């Protein structure tokens, strides 16, 4: 029997989000909306708690 590897990554998407920086720094939610700022930059808004950052 081959050992299962599934238990090593209960949430593989969490690692992807962490690398992309798409977790809310306030509440940790991954429900993030990307918005354009006035100066042409990119900002992020957490749709869970409303926290915004860039």
16 vs 26, which CB is nearer to Zn ion? 26
Q: Going by C-beta distance under 8 Å and a sequence separation of 6 or more, which residues neighbour residue 35?
A: 42, 43, 44, 45, 52
- Least CB distance to Zn ion at residue 30 (A): 9
Interface residues with Zn ion (CB under 5 A) are: 24, 26-27, 29, 46, 48-49, 51
- Least CB distance to Zn ion at residue 22 (A): 11
Instruction: Give the separation between CA 4 and CA 10, rounded to whole angstroms.
Output: 12
Instruction: Give the separation between CA 9 and CA 7, rounded to whole angstroms.
Output: 6
17 vs 51, which CB is nearer to Zn ion? 51
């Amino acid at each position: 029997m081959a050992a299962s590897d599934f238990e090593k990554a209960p949430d593989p998407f969490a690692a992807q989000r962490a690398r992309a920086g798409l977790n809310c720094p306030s509440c940790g939610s991954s429900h993030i909306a990307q918005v354009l700022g006035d100066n042409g930059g990119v900002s992020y808004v957490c749709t869970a708690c409303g926290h915004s950052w860039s």
